[in-house]
Structure 1
């Protein structure tokens, strides 16, 4: 089995890379900063390859997918069984207020980047008539749009919609599409965004638990996996609120 993970140099992506490596897969870890893997022991294994790739660069993504497809594999050469996209960009309202151009990386990574990855990988998979595309979105993407809603939520709604469109288009070719919709996961990035401590986040999950849930959903070939259920329930309740109350929510 050959697995490609874009955004695999840290956090959930790295955890998934290790999971599939431990399962015996050929794992291609892709990201903008491969030096993050310098101290990661399993990344030096012969079944692991590391690729520099900016998901917002469509041509670079296509080249990287072609490189991964061409890698030798114990089962078959010239294939890609599973693509997982965990790469994401977050910009809060305060940053956007300071610099309006900060919206562009969010769109280029969370929306355009996902399409770049799915387009290149699906082209490779369609030749064999099988494969699996996976995107890790966010439970923020299940929030209905509302006045002053965040750009991040809007970008994740778009990511979920992109997965739905690809699923419909690729089903006749035997290619599955799964969208993972997690709540708060205790990653280094989340802690960084919360001054070093994310313990106050509701229903916070560990990276290990998130990886286990995601891998199980992929194995089942779920169309959508949302967790934890408690936060999902809160989002559903939030969507029922009138607009004036939604505007009072801090972003």
Structure 2
């Protein structure tokens, strides 16, 4: 896909990977709309983007509600005059043991990380069809490929959105709408501020700009997926498929320290 002049909606675009994508796509000449729940964060992000020369519209809405999704799509279409690319990036997480996770927190993760992007994509399809050269980008997670302890619901939602994207790519094949799945690893974003996971557990974080750069390259190449983490992540994926018991033992060894590191990881 040629990104120049494309009309792009990025959900969760006020910070982290969403904002990094807004900068990177805008630098390629795209017209951007960013959505989010926090007006002040959106104001700050929009000011930064405008200062860098990126044409941007901001939309305050909660994608966890039907009204918020309708508002997001309606205002994006009005601001952009249509839509060529939908980036499903907004998400939330609550780490910890399942039995210690409130039902409301479980439902919030499923609603925002899985249901919202599915319903937003469904609602956006008519506009994307009108484009004739359209794209849906789903920001999943490395945990959508490899389930980690203390992230059971989050991993389920991210695996769900990944399979949704794969199925939709095949459903929309030949109809002018491509679908790209992105699997970031641990990334330096506000969403990760409550997590103490780091190199001592064998988990290195990368900047959001690195995820954005890899995603841009995949968009331009019409790729199917982006998997961050390099060779180490590729080896873990292969091990998870071919010898999951070995990976189980690795996680068992690190479980006490991991439980402590993620106990404050909440962003809902």
Tell me how far apart the structure 1 counterparts of residues 238 and 93 of structure 2 sit (CA, whole Å): 22
Structure 1 stretches of 5 or more lacking a match? 73-77
Q: Could you tell me which residue of structure 2 aligns to residue 153 of structure 1?
A: 155
Is the 8 Å Cα contact of residues 21 and 47 (structure 1) preserved in structure 2?
Answer: yes
Q: Could you tell me which residue of structure 2 aligns to residue 54 of structure 1?
A: 62
Distance of aligned partners of 1:104 and 1:135 in 2 relative to their CA distance in 1, 3 Å threshold: same
Higher relative contact order (CA 8 A, sep 6+): 2
Deviation per residue, 1:84-132 (Å, 9 max, x gap): 1111111112475152332100100111011022112222112343311
The alignment covers a number of residue pairs equal to 243
Alignment of 1:223 with 2:224, yes or no, is yes
Helix, strand or coil at the partner of 1:180: strand
RMSD of equivalent CA atoms: 2.7
Q: Could you tell me which residue of structure 2 aligns to residue 181 of structure 1?
A: 183
Is the 8 Å Cα contact of residues 149 and 247 (structure 1) preserved in structure 2?
Answer: no
Q: Could you tell me which residue of structure 1 aligns to residue 173 of structure 2?
A: 171
Q: Could you tell me which residue of structure 2 aligns to residue 211 of structure 1?
A: 212
Q: Which of 38, 49, 52 is the aligned partner of 1:33?
A: 38
* TM-score, length-scaled by structure 2: 0.80
Is the 8 Å Cα contact of residues 39 and 60 (structure 2) preserved in structure 1?
Answer: yes
Q: Could you tell me which residue of structure 2 aligns to residue 242 of structure 1?
A: 245
Helix, strand or coil at the partner of 1:127: helix
Tell me how far apart the structure 2 counterparts of residues 127 and 69 of structure 1 sit (CA, whole Å): 12
Distance of aligned partners of 1:82 and 1:97 in 2 relative to their CA distance in 1, 3 Å threshold: same
Q: Could you tell me which residue of structure 2 aligns to residue 138 of structure 1?
A: 141
Distance of aligned partners of 1:103 and 1:85 in 2 relative to their CA distance in 1, 3 Å threshold: same
Distance of aligned partners of 1:232 and 1:142 in 2 relative to their CA distance in 1, 3 Å threshold: same
Helix, strand or coil at the partner of 2:10: strand
* CA displacement at 1:220 relative to structure 2: 1.3
Tell me how far apart the structure 1 counterparts of residues 83 and 203 of structure 2 sit (CA, whole Å): 37
Helix, strand or coil at the partner of 2:223: coil
* CA displacement at 1:65 relative to structure 2: 1.6
Structure 2 stretches of 5 or more lacking a match? 1-5, 260-268
Q: Could you tell me which residue of structure 1 aligns to residue 266 of structure 2?
A: none
Alignment of 1:92 with 2:95, yes or no, is yes
Helix, strand or coil at the partner of 1:54: coil
* CA displacement at 1:31 relative to structure 2: 0.8
Q: Could you tell me which residue of structure 2 aligns to residue 17 of structure 1?
A: 22
Tell me how far apart the structure 2 counterparts of residues 71 and 108 of structure 1 sit (CA, whole Å): 26
* CA displacement at 1:215 relative to structure 2: 1.3
Tell me how far apart the structure 1 counterparts of residues 150 and 193 of structure 2 sit (CA, whole Å): 25
Tell me how far apart the structure 2 counterparts of residues 58 and 168 of structure 1 sit (CA, whole Å): 27
Tell me how far apart the structure 2 counterparts of residues 173 and 112 of structure 1 sit (CA, whole Å): 23
